[in-house]
Amino acid sequence: MGKPKVAIYWAASCGGCDIAILDIAEKILDLSAAVDIIFWPVAMDVKYKDVEAMEDGEIDLCLFNGSVRTTENEHLAKLLRQKSKVLVAYGSCAHEGCIPGMANQYDKEQMCAYVYENSPAVDNPDKVRPQTTHKVKEGVLTLPALYDTVKSLQQVVKVDYFVPGCPPTDERTWEVLTAVLEGTLPAAGSVVGAGTTALCEDCPRERKEKKVKRFYRPHEIVTDPDVCLLDQGVICCGVVTRTGCGAQCPSVNMPCRGCYGPPEGVTDQGAKLIAVLGSIIDSTDPEEIERVCATVVDPLGTGYRFGLANSILRRSKLR
Ligand code: SF4
Ligand code: SF4
Ligand code: SF4
């Protein structure tokens, strides 16, 4: 029997998840000794037609990063699903939509109007926009079409495992690869490479669940390094985020932004964060509560930075 065949693909992503796989450093040599990487567009000269020519289920493991926002992303999601025995949503974009999913506050027209016409950095008097087809003397050039709504991978195809994180840490990535190679993966549909409880459990700061008179952005306050950021009024999503990264951000004086997604028992990370923030406001006076709430800058971006596409909101209502 030959070595297991592995595919790695990026859809709508920043590229960070591909780099996260390289972050396993010299273990990449162990990986390449144990498996045949047969498709990895960022690192190899491969073509989509190579995948199309494969037998169904020929790929043993596909790590798919990035969300789905174009016809090309959707085609590859469906193609790699068909050709893979095990399809893994690797990283927050594939898992929950992540930063690309923040585009679900707008539709395609609103985004293109800003990006190609109205952004202060753009000089485009003829209002030229990318087209899906363009004729040149050599033939017709094509570009993928952009969808109105960004989707997570599981909103397009069946996903076998989810590896959270923006990006997943190298230790967790290696754990997952080892589990695949040793055949010790849990039941299909599971989140792997992460814990189930809230990140506060791994955080070195002491949390006393104090009430606060206002909320701060990190640059607005010098915090005590030993005390919970939320207790000091800095919005930290650790209370509504699953363990897995080792509480990297609060350990270096930055609040958790929530990239590992919600812990077990929390359906909607943003809604849960709003409930937590509401519960720690130190006032019963409606006007003062309004003032405290107004110190939460960008509530949607704070609570749904990573999970809007997968959330109960899925996209915000277009006005
Ligand atoms: S999960 Fe984060 S690091 Fe990975 S592709 Fe998406 S934005 Fe980039
Ligand atoms: S700083 Fe954040 S992660 Fe740490 S205990 Fe407070 S809320 Fe939890
Ligand atoms: S602390 Fe939060 S934002 Fe930072 S890496 Fe961990 S889960 Fe992601």
Pocket test for ligand 1, best of 23, 69, 93, 163 (most atoms within 8 A of CB): 93
Judge if the upstream peptide bond of residue 167 is cis by omega within 30 degrees of 0. yes
DSSP per-residue string spanning 225-254? TTB-TGGGTB--GGGGSBS-S-SHHHHTT-
Q: Which residues, including other chains, have CB under 8 Å from residue 288's CB and lie 6 or more apart?
A: none
Q: 316: pLDDT confidence band, cut at 50, 70 and 90?
A: confident
Identity of the residue numbered 119: S
Which helix (H) or strand (E) covers residue 52, if one does? helix 48-52
Has residue 71 been placed in a domain?
A: yes
Has residue 225 been placed in a domain?
A: yes
Stretch 227-250: mean pLDDT, rounded?
98
Q: What was the pLDDT predicted at 127?
A: 95
Has residue 188 been placed in a domain?
A: no
Has residue 120 been placed in a domain?
A: yes
Q: What is the span of the domain harbouring residue 40?
A: 5-100+148-182
Strands (DSSP E) found in 76-181: 84-90, 133-136, 139-142, 146-151, 161-163
| Residue 37 contacts residue 50 (beta carbons within 8 Å) | no
Stretch 239-263: mean pLDDT, rounded?
97
**17 and 109 together in one domain:** no
**157 and 41 together in one domain:** yes
Ligand 3 pocket member 239 (CB < 6 A): no
**51 and 162 together in one domain:** yes
Report the domain count for the chain: 3
CA of 264 from ligand 2 middle (Å) equals: 17
For the whole model, what pTM was predicted? Answer: 0.95
Q: What was the pLDDT predicted at 81?
A: 98
Q: 41: pLDDT confidence band, cut at 50, 70 and 90?
A: very high
| Whether residue 1 has pLDDT greater than 80 | no
Average pLDDT, the chain: 95
For helices 27-34 and 170-182, the axis angle rounded to 10 degrees is 20
pLDDT single digits (tens) 280-297: 999 999 999 999 999 999
**204 and 281 together in one domain:** yes
**161 and 92 together in one domain:** yes
Which has the minimum average pLDDT: 79-83, 171-175, 258-262?
A: 171-175
Stretch 179-197: mean pLDDT, rounded?
93
